[in-house]
Chain A
Amino acid sequence: MHSEEAIIEGCKRKDPLFEQALYQRHARKMMGVCSRYGQTRFESEDIFQEAFLKVFLSIHTYQGGSFEAWMKRIFVNTAINHFHKNKKHYHQLEYEDVPEVAFDHEDILSSLTTQELLKAINQLPEGNQLIFKLYVLEGYSHKEIAEMLGIHEGTSKSQLARAKAGLKKSLLTLYPSLYADR
């Protein structure tokens, strides 16, 4: 069992054994990242394949720090590129126009599995969905999201608000039984 540093060095030397070891160590986690952004399984696999290829081809640029975070950034960027390729259009909504909705579904969230949550999130409009994922799931700021997607920061905020409202509706639609007793 090799350490991560040894594996990374082996990958830099283009050693197939170390590359396979790196793949086996991070494949599931990275596939989880891809599943968040892919609309379908096929798209998720595409993102996964393309992103991992980029990791191996550009591993010589890794200078240190959290390798997982470095990989994750590559995967997220690849997902965003796919988003642009698919020409997902979304309109801009002013943040002030989004009504405040109280979200009182903590118990519901805890009763749903991650897959079910993901399914609900994927029901969101595509533009809102991406920003929601980047902001909520990945923790990017609106400024960073705006730079990555090439939009205004205000657009990112408004899209996030709309995504939150939509998520509530999705949960209600997908899992009405959970709300029946409330």
Chain B
Amino acid sequence: MPTDKEFEDILRNRFDDFEDEPPLEGWSKLQQDLQQHRFPKKRWPFSIIAIFLLIGLVWKEPTSMTQYAPAIGEAKTSAFSPLESQHGQKTIAKEAKSKRKEQLTSNGQLATDSYHRSDTQTPMLSIVAERNTPVQTITERKEMPTHQQNHPEQSLRIGSEPQKPTTSIETGRGIASSSRFKNPNKNEAGLNKPNNIGKEKAMRAKSFNTNQEDTTPREKINTPEEENATEKLAEKAVPTKAIATSKEGMPNLFPTNDRQSNVDPSEYIGNEVSPLSEISTSTSGVPFSGSVEIGESKTEPLPSKPVARNVGIERRLSVDKRSHRIDSLIRIQPVVSIHPVAKAKPKPDSDKSPTLSGSLPYTFGIYFSPRYAFSRFRPNQADNVLIENIRTEGKSMHTRLGYETGITCNRLLSDRWILNSNLVFIHLNETLDFSSKSTKPDSVTWIRSDDGSSIVAPHFNSHQQRYESSYHYVGLNLGASYSFWKRKQGSWYASGGGGLNILVRGKTNVYNNDTFVNTVRFPSARNPLEQMNYRISVGIGYAHRIAERAELTFEPTISYFLGSSFKEREPVGMKPYTLGLNVGLRFGR
């Protein structure tokens, strides 16, 4: 009789060489697991998500601010400094031209955005006349003599001899072309430009900050050279608009001419100021005499805050009407014209959510979502199988991981409500392991005891079954989403919906006791629509604005498939849950 030791040795020897058949496709599964551990390729969606999240964290909306293109201020800075180089004025003129954007509107006025003043820019030059003598202000422009046009810097030469003003002969006309100041409302022939015809009479009827009304017809005699020069200027001439001329007591400085009729400053009210080049050139043509000092001086500070209006600056020189001379120190007082032309872009309120105004009613997008499948199942029909030991844990991730992708078309119902429609393609994997026993005994054991009684012990064979399934669906989903928290940079929303999915391809490999039994493929040729299922989805997502009309969305979702119409051939009714993370791009809002 063998001892325990011998018994153990016998058993050990019997099992030393014991081998068993490895699982089918064991190596391929092992290979996949190895790849997953070593090369997590399927983590790339999450890597992309992480990258997008990182971008969202560091992305900053450009601070919106009213942009004012410095035009006049900058040009002014160097325009009137007597210390400027000889070519300073030319350079300044060019700069002013390049900076401004002139668009003549139908009425000849500057376009809305043509004049913007930098908040930090203030006129650097002011000419204020000492009011030793009564002055008559003329808010008109005079053309610069040809030789002065060529050498504008000469016109500001201190101590230069006054230029004999040219006169144009015109009756009942404005004074625009009288003397050397160009009336931007007048063409070179001294005729009113079409838009100012109506004002012409008003011009003559009113006086401009003078004590006397001068109704004498204005005259102008232009030399041919001046005519040519002024033609060029005329092309660029824009009607000017005077403003503060309406202010009483405001010294308005302009060299005048005896023969110049009064100019009604009100004519210029509401008009825009001519470009700096005109100012500089025209101003440079001022026939100064005597001690003229032009330099930087204190200026009346312009409004520091951007205003929703164009600001033009016009210089006027007050000239002794009688002497046509500037007797004393003259400083040009900048006068600010204010007129509503363009509204500054309002600073967007960061607390307010973007509204639908200006946005398209539809948005389109694409999305991708990895999906992980769980399952709940029950037998489709009553049978003699007792299911036990359901293995809910997947052997490996890839057996339950699928994906979903699709295109979306969304209709904006309101600022917060969006109607969604998606055309989707879904790929799901599902592996189901369970053991089952028949309710009927597979075998019985009959044991006869010593006392003659018999013991019958039933045996129920346990069958290990495994279903490895792969599904490809095409579906159409409808739903809605509601943004419950909105900011300029993004919004949080909740979504819900449902849809119909049609199985375009699928298969289930059936194993019994680890033995391959068969593969069930569907849909069948006889009934292509045999497996349609319905699903409902809910999710909460975040939409991050990455461009003016583009959003990046992240939305974890849970989908529940309500079962299929395929019950005849499906061994068990599987109703999987899938958990996914939708990452998408949405355009159009």
Whether, in the assembled complex, A104 has its beta carbon less than 8 Å from a beta carbon of chain B, the answer is yes
Give every chain A residue within 8 A of B29 (Cβ-Cβ). Answer: 49
B33 touching A53, Cβ below 8 Å: yes
Tell me the bound Cα distance from A173 to B19 in angstroms: 25
A40-95 at interface with B (beta carbon < 8 Å): 40-42, 44-46, 48-49, 52-53, 56-57
Interface centre among A34, A35, A45, A48, by most chain B C-beta atoms within 10 angstroms, is A45
B19 touching A137, Cβ below 8 Å: no
B21 touching A28, Cβ below 8 Å: yes
Give every chain B residue within 8 A of A103 (Cβ-Cβ). Answer: 1-2, 4, 7
Whether, in the assembled complex, A150 has its beta carbon less than 8 Å from a beta carbon of chain B, the answer is no
A48 touching B12, Cβ below 8 Å: no
Give every chain B residue within 8 A of A164 (Cβ-Cβ). Answer: 4, 7
- From residue A146, how far is it (CB to closest CB) to chain B in Å? 18
A49 touching B15, Cβ below 8 Å: no
Interface centre among B10, B15, B445, by most chain A C-beta atoms within 10 angstroms, is B15
Tell me the bound Cα distance from A151 to B510 in angstroms: 41
Residue of B nearest to A52 (CB): B30
Whether, in the assembled complex, A6 has its beta carbon less than 8 Å from a beta carbon of chain B, the answer is no
Tell me the bound Cα distance from A44 to B513 in angstroms: 12
Give every chain A residue within 8 A of B14 (Cβ-Cβ). Answer: 109, 114, 117
Give every chain B residue within 8 A of A137 (Cβ-Cβ). Answer: 11-12, 15
Tell me the bound Cα distance from A30 to B22 in angstroms: 8
A-B contact count (CB 8 A): 114
Tell me the bound Cα distance from A137 to B7 in angstroms: 11
Looking at chain A's contact residues, the main secondary structure is helix
On chain B, the number of residues with a Cβ less than 8 Å from chain A's Cβ atoms is 41
B20-57 at interface with A (beta carbon < 8 Å): 20-23, 26-27, 29-31, 33-34, 37-38
Whether, in the assembled complex, B293 has its beta carbon less than 8 Å from a beta carbon of chain A, the answer is no
Residue of A nearest to B37 (CB): A57
Tell me the bound Cα distance from A76 to B389 in angstroms: 23
Give every chain B residue within 8 A of A29 (Cβ-Cβ). Answer: 19
- A130-149 vs B, Cβ < 8 Å mask (1 yes, 0 no): 00000111010000000000
B429-477 at interface with A (beta carbon < 8 Å): 433, 435, 445-448, 457, 462, 464, 466
A36 touching B27, Cβ below 8 Å: no
Give every chain A residue within 8 A of B446 (Cβ-Cβ). Answer: 176
Give every chain A residue within 8 A of B6 (Cβ-Cβ). Answer: 106
- A15-47 vs B, Cβ < 8 Å mask (1 yes, 0 no): 010011001100111111011100011101110
A176 touching B445, Cβ below 8 Å: yes
Whether, in the assembled complex, B225 has its beta carbon less than 8 Å from a beta carbon of chain A, the answer is no
Give every chain A residue within 8 A of B23 (Cβ-Cβ). Answer: 31, 45, 48-49
**Given the interface contacts A49-B30, A53-B37, A173-B445, does A114 sit within 8 Å of B2 by beta carbon?**
no
Give every chain A residue within 8 A of B31 (Cβ-Cβ). Answer: 16, 19-20
**Given the interface contacts A14-B38, A49-B30, A176-B445, does A40 sit within 8 Å of B435 by beta carbon?**
yes
What are the 4 tightest A-B residue pairs by CB atom distance, in nearest-first order?
A28-B19, A27-B22, A31-B20, A32-B18
Q: Can you list 16 A-B contacts (CB < 8 A)?
A: A28-B19, A29-B19, A32-B18, A32-B20, A40-B435, A42-B514, A45-B26, A52-B30, A103-B4, A110-B10, A114-B14, A136-B11, A137-B11, A137-B12, A173-B457, A176-B446
